Amino acid sequence: MSRAVKIILFLIFFAVFFEAGLFASYTIVTQQPPNPVDLIEMQINGVSSLLNLGPKIATQKNLNILNEDEVVEALKIKTGIDGINLQSLSAQTYQDTDEDTINVNITAMGYKDSQTGGKTGNASSGPIVIKSNETYSITATAVAKPKTGGVQIDVGSIVITSTRVLYNT
């Protein structure tokens, strides 16, 4: 036999024994019969990820919000909370910022104040204490226009996607 035929036969036998070992180990570990299609697909996905084949995963771009005050006021109105932490306000996108308009995801931390004390009826029950007792995580989507140094968010297009209570006293 020629050398090329021996190499091809070796590779075929290697693949057959490798697959047989994979099926046997799958059966031992899961105690279920193996699904050959899923196991082969898993191997192909593993090899393609090592070779960087397939679609590329888009990365988020953090954007500077140019109209922060307007966005904060719109978020406060739409969520019914008392305030937004400006340091936590951020916008991200997966889209190319060279387009005329882009969709952005807005995240922020907000708070709702509670008031205790003050007047009850005709009597005064002590000083008024205002404390922040609920902290919220806000997620929204909006349309923005890329500008030099950041994005200008269209406050009319802001849609609240989730409001989660993080801390409640």
The C-alpha atoms of residue 108 and residue 160 are separated, in whole angstroms, by 11
Q: How does the average pLDDT of the chain come out, rounded?
A: 84
The C-alpha atoms of residue 71 and residue 109 are separated, in whole angstroms, by 13
Across 109-133, average pLDDT: 66
User: Whole-structure pTM over 0.85, yes or no?
Assistant: no
Q: Which helix (H) or strand (E) holds 15?
A: helix 3-30
Q: What is the pLDDT of residue 132?
A: 55
Q: Which residue has the higher pLDDT, 71 or 134?
A: 71
Per-residue confidence at 122, pLDDT binned at 50, 70, 90?
Answer: low
If DSSP states are collapsed to H, E and C, what string results for 43-72? HHHHHHHHCCCCCCCCCCEEECECCHHHHH
Map out the domains of the chain as residue ranges: 3-50, 61-168
- Please calculate the CA angle 58-62-68 and round it to the nearest 5 degrees: 145
For 131-167, what is each residue's pLDDT tens digit? 657 889 999 999 999 999 899 999 999 999 998 988 7
Q: What is the pLDDT of residue 56?
A: 65
Q: Which helix (H) or strand (E) holds 143?
A: strand 129-147
For 34-59, what is each residue's pLDDT tens digit? 888 888 888 888 877 777 765 666 78
Instruction: Tell me, rounded to whole angstroms, the distance of Cα 117 from its chain centroid.
Output: 41
Q: What is the pLDDT of residue 126?
A: 64
